[in-house]
Structure 1
Amino acid sequence: MRRPEGELDALARSTRHAANRADPADPADAADAAGSVDRADAADTAAECPGGPDRAPVHSAAVSRLGAAHPRQEGPTDLRLVPPALAAWATAALTLDAPAEWVIGVVAICLVVGGALLMARRHRAHVPVPDRAADGPRTNGAERVGRGTPWPRVSIAAVLLCAAAAAASAGLHGADLRRGPVPALARQYAHVTADVELTSDPRLTRPRIGGDHVAPTAVLLNAEVRRVKKPDGTVLATRAPVLVIVDARSGPSGGGSSRAGSGGSPRAGSEGSPGAPGGGSERGVWLSLLPSTRVRVSAQAVPATVGGDRIGAVLRVRGGGPPEVVAEASGVQRFAGRLRSGLREATDGLDADARALLPGFVVGDTSRVPVELDEAFKATDLTHLLAVSGANFTILLALFIGPPGLAQRVERRGLAPRLGIPLRATALVGGALTLGFVIVCRPDPSVLRAAACGSIALLAIATGRRRSLIPALATAVLLLVLYDPWLARSYGFLLSVLATGALLTLAPRWSAALQRRRVPPGPAEALAAAAAAQAVCAPVVAVLSARVSLVAVPCNLLAEFAVAPATVLGFATLATAPVAMPVAKGLAWCASWPAGWIADIARTGAAMPGAGVDWPGNWTGALLLAVVTVVVVLAGRRIMSRPRIFLAALVVFLLVVVQPPPLTRMITGWPPPGWRFAMCDVGQGDTTVLAAGDGTGVVVDAGPDPALADRCLRALGITRIPLVVLTHFHADHVAGLPGVLRERSVGAIETTGFEEPVDQAEFVRRQAAARRIPVTRAVAGQERRTGHLMWRVLWPPPSTGPAPEGPNDASVTMLVRSAGLTLLILGDLEPTAQRALLRSPAAVELGAVDVVKVAHHGSAYQDPDLIRAVAPRLALISVGADNLYGHPAPSTLAALRAGGATVMRTDEDGAIAVAGAAQGLRVARD
């Protein structure tokens, strides 16, 4: 299966996702399909009953919202379109990369067998049916179907014909990746000059920590090659889908991005990302390009290393200046770009969260969403809100035509009846609204899904035909797969269909069950929708993230109240920005309140210690989770009928998620009472915490991951930090700073005076400035105390001394004392600086210590004289499991143990805490 767009980032690195936007619970797509609900039974029956409309019986489901009516009152579900849709889906997924002869064979067999079945049915239709009046009552049509005469054959024929159509479409789309000159040139790793037409917005790869540095980001563009010049000078016209990776130079400052908001706004930053490039210079020009723009690039063609996606080759553009534009974007795209640019301008003055989220809610522009907020949305399964899925379009349709359940009634609500627009004219205007939605939000898969479902709803309004919800969903799946077979391998498409199906089948029943247990209708429908979508989508999400969220349902439930106002006000801002910017800014300010509420929900949910559990990230794990979900649902039905047991289960669940520190300490023993020092398990990086009183601690280094740093500090109960010491500016020591600062009172940040790498030093200053935290420099000889904790800076020497050879040798080195225990923190000092430390005046302070934080993750670069001089009783090594650097080195471990030290390492022991006093040192592991 094809993973979501983020996997193109992975292709750019190796040539994540494995990140982007699989909308795990997209309830709105179901609401899109809900527009195809039957024309109100009251109106239809009124036309058929001779007694007139006043005497027409009204079906209860016709006047109720989705999920409000008892599902069994609506009769059996029409499932005839489901098998053809599933057949087309499966066939497209299997034949996209199949050989041509296999595709032709599948198409031929399906057509022949399907046609034969239809002909056989036609022949049987002319066979006279004997009159059995003399023998008994005449059988009706339903009985004939039950006896299996014509309809099963028609159904099988429909399945085969749809499979044939899907195979033909998939075969043609798949052939685009193999035929023509571009794939051949990619296999030769040839350097080419190509004219490419952009088919998506430019976006940046996610900043990624690679050891002590942040891997450089690049601009990614989906495009089609229209003209290629081979190395021998031959020019060929072609049409091949490619991924363009531009290693352009960045501007002076800004943030990284996952997706750039094109349309004259080159600043596309993920504010708060370490070392994230800005939007100026060449990169900013690339990021400002619009879809349908044609540019000429000189690039190296390489094969696509990630299969299952619509990429015939990868074109790597290495610098070379700004793009050479051959043809400007179309007028429609330029207009849409101006709208998106106006939205960004209108949100410029808002706080960081609203500024980041509003463009995402409206047009899917996530370029300003910082990494930590994006991770919070993933941890709480709220990413579908940023995917421009059916949620946005459904809200617009509901605003215009009214709630789907009432859209075809005389009592219909919405703007259309208030403006006096007739019913069928409403469908036409809705169609124009659908087209505009697709253009402005770009024809991405999630947008096409929403538009397809919405179009079915509008067709139902225009024709007045009564359709059930499941056939509408099946029709949307069938049409989308035939139009774009690559959706058959899209996890986002799978999740959207699963969520929609759950909302159409499970949610009404669960809502009715909750209402029978005296839950009010509104909360019952919302809770049933969130729970049903999560239940069916969780196994697939587990495959993608290897984690199961325990807070997804409550977070989606709480966010639902803010989604509609944020989206409606956001679209109003988009529409008014080109003509009245002050009004647009006022609307954006109003929208910032619900947007901020959603951000707070995501951060709060993700910060819960029990927000999620790790799970096998494969299809076996998905099957296991599906079984667990069924068991939980069945058990939940029994528990809900017993209030006391239900209340007890709810309390247990809350305790598991919240994990109050006193209870956690009582059960797990972590952190141990009276702990003095703690080394967090943050992977390949460093974070050390020095206890300074109840809920107070000095933090030395922040590690590479904000989430891991925040999780460790929460487990330790740290809420106040008088000082954060960053030993040096390598990414594995500073990139997690946002997690350290999150929701904590911080007095100051102290750093080394050697400000390299420059981009990460700037990142630290931006983080401090955003929170108004002063930044100071550590110099040898400084002494500080807080509570019972005191420390002395031993290194680096004053700036008048010799310049260090690199960031590692400029690491802040501290000798810490607490309750008689001594701890030596060496940062990442290498042998040259270690020997200089031994010769410095600070060496007088050294002597034997109780605990040493081994330099540079236990690498082989250690000075044996320093190890012998400090003679630690306990050596702590912060290191990531299965790291690529061979840390810790066997020679370093042997030297430490030879000196009598007990060695503990985070990759094997997890987080480590030291407690007790000099006479009785105790060690605990998390």
Structure 2
Amino acid sequence: MSQVIGGGPPGRGRPGGLADAGRGGRRPRDRGAADAEVRDREEDGAAHVDRPGPLDLRLVPPALAAWATAAATLDAPAAWTAVLAIACLTGGIVLLSARGSGRAGRPAEASPTRRDGRKTRGARTLQRSGWARAPIAAVLLCVAAAAATAGLHGADVRRGPVPDLARRYATVTAEVEVSGDPWLSRPRVRGDHAAPVAVLARAEVRRVARTDGTSVRTRTPVLLVVDADIPAPYGGAARNGGAAAWGTAGAGVRDGRRARDAWLGLLPSTRLRVGGRLAPALTGGDPTAAVLRVRGRPGPRIVAGPSGPQRLAGRLRAGLREATDDLPQDARALLPGLVVGDTSRITPELDEAFKETDLTHTLAVSGSNLTILLALLIGPPGLAQRAERRGLAPRLGLSLRGTALLAGALTLGFVVVSRPDPSVLRAAVCGAVALLALATGRRRSLVPALATAVLLLVLYDPWLARSYGFLLSVLATGALLVLAPGWSEALRRRRVPPRLAEALAAAAAAQAVCAPVTAVLSARVSLVAVPCNLLAEVAVAPATVLGFAALVWASLAMGPAKALAWCASWPAGWIAGVARTGAALPGAGVGWPGSWPGALALAAVTVALVLAVRRLPRHPWWAALLAVLLVLVVVRPAPLTRVITGWPPPGWRFAMCDVGQGDATVLAAGEGTGVVVDAGPDPALVDHCLRQLGITRVPLLVLTHFHADHVAGLPGVLRGRSVAAIETTGFEEPPEQAEFVTRVAAARHIPLTRAVAGEEGRTGPLSWRILWPPPSTRPPSDPGYPAWPGPVPEPDGPNDASVAMLVRAGGLRLLLLGDLEPPAQQALSRSPVAAELAGVDVLKVAHHGSAYQDPELIRLAAPRVALISCGADNPYGHPAPATVAALRAGGALVLRTDRDGELAVGGTGGTGGEVRVARD
């Protein structure tokens, strides 16, 4: 909520508003002068706000003390917490009593004074100590309150039968109430398989039945885990607010996708009866007493639908999703997130781009959304209490108190529709405090409002004291209130246009304060956060306003709602484009220690940079030089990067990326162009490798087989690059990963073909021949290729169906074996092309150097360099010592990514030629 910034000492005049006339009343201001001043400031392009006096920080120490106490005492022993609360309560009462008795027993005129009328030193000391008692007492009382509430909340989580049952991993039948929107777990790769995606939801166990038949009422928070094979719950509380008939929709549905959608469609406050196994909470520090993994028997059943407000919110959110169904993919995914925090359509690729550019706060609905809505109602912040205020309220003839009541109703509706997340709660409480000041006509600074919001929220829900989201929200708001005004004024003095100065100061202040916490969470620092936030900010307001209009109209008429959503898609698409473009820059971020010591170091570096930037205007040449250097660091032009870092080495032909336990390799095909073979398990890692190599165009992406450690990183290859075609094996196992590749390729309109032995290709200086898998029903299209001798061997699994290639690159001969195992390797060594495999320059060792290798093929290939892609400390023991020994016995130089990092091969190859290998 926006509010007039003021709060200076009594009796001091404040330009732009009413000034206190001494202690007894207020002096009216000349209306004509006020109007003239408003016009003058508007002509300058500056917002009409009061010139702030000294910051009112009196509520900050109590709020911080309560915050720290709540964080420390949530899981502390009850006796220790009780002692702390009683001691602080007693101390606060004693201090307040002493202050009151001191005032009653010593009137002001009885204070000792000197002949010149000044108070003696003892009197001044007594007065100072008297004034100090109240703040100290306030801190002690807030600590006592925070310790009491945090102790009660912590004990509430630990009490009851559920924690004890979880420690025994008991199987129970429980009645639970969903307390938040369900979401999908992040996809993870375990070995060569992707862990199944589960539906997660926060809930409260209201009744639990043990296996002996006894039933106990309770109220314990748990985390529901619903695996992909669990049927949909009987009933059907979907996000449309319960349009389906209870007890029929979803009953008996076991299809994975439909069942998952039914679970994701559950609204908060829905009650379920489920069977499952309890387990201890995976992590501490949050209000979760246990994990309840739902089982299919007995079948989950909905016993009570969501509450009326939640149904209304569900219908509104579902209407917005329907209105955005026909929009382009990015706008379709982003607009519900901007408006009501619905991120269900955000793809992992887009989510990663927002993280790289520190724009994630736009996906989580926050106080900025509420501020935009209230600005429409009230007008500019500085005019909220004046007769010349703008917005819709004065045009509707609303008084100040009527405006406050309408804004309060709007805030309440905003919280219900957007869900009470930490940032939404903080914005709502801060807005409520400021609205109260508006309704009573009293001046309040936003810093006390923020402190009051923090204090009330921590006392209401002490678990927020350990929430990173809440911490980032408060830090960002505090930076906008404390740092941004001064920085904006400094920029104006240096002739920066006012609006640009305000936007730049706000983005820089929020980034400077939040960056250390972000570094703890992501172990990186974004170098493009400030410019990306500036570019995105211009589109946030129109996208939010149009999106909320579409939300309202969707419940009345879908035609206007779709039109408004189409208009909102343009600014939403702009925001997504900014995120993708910023994330695609080679130097978008740098690694940083993801720990609190690392955060302190980053804070110190930030302070040093701020002090240095203040001096830069005196040295314009240094400022210009540093700006150019920053641009070069972010853009990282390949020629300059190669000169400075030596990576990639000049003339490289083949590179093996360090992507952990998986495969991702690149064949150079010209400036900025490369044929990529496999994508590894992590999109971020393969994207980082391709950025360093300067690859922006991929004429062909070969996915040797569909195991997750080779294909899960596909979105990283596509990020910011043009991919002309994808070629895969014809053995579509595992089916979920094959379907993932097909879906991603179709979404990007990339042709998907199947590789078959005998196929040849060429691009730039590269040429290759597919060696495996053999044709299953017909001979290869190349009539000169010999027919496959005998029956075609059936693959035992995805590994034996891997695409194997023989590549020629600038004189080098490279044999890439995918994950072929001994049966396929033996068949390949006896195939018509076996003679071409003899004496290769480089061998990409099959299956991460596992022990399952064909010695005959290794002897036949006799590579000069053998490269193994494997993850550090992987649980499979790759590479096997026997495999490494066999390769070295044949004279090969063996290098591995877990120890040597990323590898690049160059040289002329062939008999008498050289082969150069560089490590990053």
TM norm structure 1: 0.90
1:906 is aligned to: 897
Match 1:358 to one of 330, 335, 338: 335
Deviation, 1:315, is 0.9
Q: CA deviation at 1:830?
A: 1.0
- Tell whether 2:177 aligns with 1:184: no
Distance verdict in 2 for CA 1:43–1:815, change over 3 Å = closer
- Within the candidate set 480, 486, 495, 1:509 is matched to 486
Identify which of 110, 119, 124 aligns with 2:102.
Answer: 124
1:256-276 deviations in whole A, cap 9, x for unaligned?
Answer: xxxx9785799xxxxxxxxxx
**CA–CA distance in structure 2, aligned partners of residues 312 and 61 of structure 1:** 56
Partner of 2:841: 850
Alignment of 1:171-320 (within 5 A): 171-249=151-229, 280-320=257-297
**Superposed counterparts of 1:404-803, under 5 Å:** 404-800=381-777, 801-803=792-794
Per the alignment, do residues 144 and 278 of structure 1 end up closer, same or farther by CA in structure 2, a change over 3 Å counting? farther
3-state SS in 2 of match to 1:148: helix
- Cα shift readout 1:686-720 (whole Å, capped 9, x = no counterpart): 12222223333222112222232233223323333
The 8 Å contact of residues 849 and 871 in structure 1, kept in 2 or not, is answered as: yes
SS of 1:280's equivalent in the other structure is: helix
Question: How far apart in 1 are the matches of 2:36 and 2:294?
Answer: 63
Aligned partners of 1:538, 1:197: CA distance in 2, in Å? 37
Residues of 2 paired with 1:570 and 1:251: CA distance? Answer: 34
Tell me how far 1:323 sits from its aligned partner.
Answer: 3.1
* Counterpart for residue 826 of structure 1: 817
The 2-side partners of 1:888 and 1:709 are apart by 21
Question: Is residue 82 of structure 1 aligned with residue 60 of structure 2?
Answer: yes
Find the aligned partners of 2:543 and 2:229 in 1 and give their Cα distance. 36
In 2: Cα distance, 1:679 partner to 1:198 partner? 47
1:923 — aligned with what? 917
Alpha carbons of structure 1 residues 139 and 522: separation in structure 2 relative to 1, 3 Å: farther
Instruction: Give 1:745 deviation, angstroms.
Output: 3.2
- Alignment correspondent of 1:372: 349
Q: Deviations over 1:381-430 (max 9, x none)?
A: 11111111111111111111112211111111111112221111000001
Label 1:440 to 1:502 Cα distance change in 2 as closer, same or farther (>3 A): same
SS of corresponding position for 1:613: strand
Residues 4 and 445, structure 2, Cα contact 8 Å, conserved in 1:
no
Distance 1:624 1:325, change over 3 A: same
In structure 1, the residue matched to 2:235 is none
SS at match of 1:620: helix
Shift of 1:524: 0.9
Question: With CA pairs under 8 Å and 6+ residues apart, which has the higher RCO, 1 or 2?
Answer: 1
Contact 1:79 1:470 in 2 (8 A): yes
Contact 2:41–2:48 (Cα < 8 Å) also in 1: no
1:230-252 per-position Cα deviation (integer Å, ceiling 9, x unaligned): 22111111111111111143899
- Is the contact between residue 61 and residue 74 of structure 1 (CA under 8 Å) also seen in structure 2? no
Aligned match of 2:77: 99
Residue 319 of structure 1: CA displacement? 3.2
Amino acid at match of 1:288: G
Whether the 8 Å CA contact 2:819–2:848 is kept in 1: the answer is yes
- Verify the 8 A CA contact 2:49 2:383 in the aligned structure 1: no
Cα distance in 2 between the residues matched to 1:43 and 1:783:
79
Tell me, yes or no, if the aligned pair for 1:427 and 1:459 is still in contact at 8 Å. yes
Where does residue 269 of structure 1 map in the other structure?
none
For residue 321 of structure 1, report the CA deviation from its aligned partner: 7.8
C-alpha contact 2:5 2:49 (8 A) present in aligned 1: no
The answer as to whether partners of 1:71 and 1:509 remain within 8 angstroms in 2 is no
- Partner SS, residue 345 of structure 2: coil
**How much has 1:174 moved relative to structure 2?**
0.5
Partner deviation per Cα, 1:755-807 (whole Å, 9 max, x = no partner): 10111111111122222222221111222222332111111112142320000
Shifted more, 428-437 versus 403-412: the winner is 403-412
- Kept in 2, the 8 Å contact 1:249–1:281? The answer is no
**8 Å CA contact retained: 2:4, 2:383:** no
- Partner residue, 1:865: 856
Partners of 2:36 and 2:190 lie apart in 1 by 62
Post-superposition Cα deviations, 1:45-72, rounded to whole Å, max 9, x if no partner, equal: 3995667534888999999799969999
- Point out the more displaced range, 772-781 or 392-401: 772-781
* Percent of paired sites with the same residue: 70
1:115-154 superposed Cα distances (whole Å, 9 cap, x missing partner): 11111111111122316688333669xx969941422111
CA offsets, 1:853-889, max 9 Å, x none?
A: 0111111211111111100000111122232222222
Structure 1 stretches lacking a partner, 5+ long: 1-31, 253-259, 267-276
Q: Which moved more, 1:783-792 or 1:153-162?
A: 783-792
Could you tell me which residue of structure 2 aligns to residue 340 of structure 1?
317
1:782 and 1:180, CA in 2 relative to 1: closer, same or farther beyond 3 A? Answer: same
* Other-structure match for 1:28: none
Letter paired with 1:429: L
Q: Report the Cα distance in structure 2 between the residues aligned to 1:583 and 1:176, rounded to whole angstroms.
A: 48
Amino acid in the other structure paired with 1:242: V
Tell me if structure 2 keeps the 8 A contact 1:282–1:322: no
Return the alpha-carbon distance in structure 1 between the equivalents of residues 647 and 113 of structure 2. Answer: 83
Aligned counterpart for 1:113 among listed residues 91, 103, 110: 91
Pick closer, same or farther for the CA change 1:320–1:394 going to 2, 3 Å: farther
Q: Which moved more, 1:52-61 or 1:787-796?
A: 52-61
For residues 760 and 553 of structure 2, the distance between their equivalents in structure 1, rounded to whole angstroms, comes to: 58
Task: Specify the structure having the higher radius of gyration (Cα).
Answer: 2
The alignment partner of 1:74 has SS state of: coil
> Is 78-87 or 910-919 further displaced after alignment?
910-919
Between stretches 805-814 and 65-74, larger displacement belongs to: 65-74
Structure 2: how far apart are the matches of 1:734 and 1:335? 41
| Separation in structure 1 between the aligned mates of residue 130 and residue 48 of structure 2, nearest angstrom | 33
Deviation at 1:530, TM superposition (A): 0.9
Looking at structure 2, the residues matched to 171 and 630 of structure 1 have their Cα atoms a distance apart, in angstroms, of 37
Q: For residues 861 and 61 of structure 1, what CA distance do their matches in structure 2 show? A: 80
Cα separation, 2, equivalents of 1:749 and 1:305: 39
**Cα 1:752–1:347, aligned 2, differ >3 Å: closer, same or farther?**
same
Cα 1:473–1:49 change in 2 (3 A) is closer
Aligned match for 1:887, one of 875, 878, 881: 878
Match of 2:832 in 1: 841
SS in 2 for 1:885: coil
Corresponding position of 1:45 = 19
Tell me: CA distance 1:917–1:306, structure 2 relative to 1, closer, same or farther (3 Å): same
Aligned 8 A contact 1:198 1:221 in 2: yes
User: Distance in 2 between the 1:279 and 1:388 partners?
Assistant: 30
The Cα shift of 1:509 comes to 1.2
Aligned equivalents of 1:872 and 1:405: distance in 2?
Answer: 75
Relative to the length of structure 2, the TM-score reads: 0.91
Tell me the distance in 2 between the aligned counterparts of 1:786 and 1:45.
Answer: 77
Amino acid at match of 1:904: L
Match of 1:397 among 374, 382, 391: 374
**Which secondary structure state, in structure 2, belongs to the residue aligned with residue 231 of structure 1?**
coil
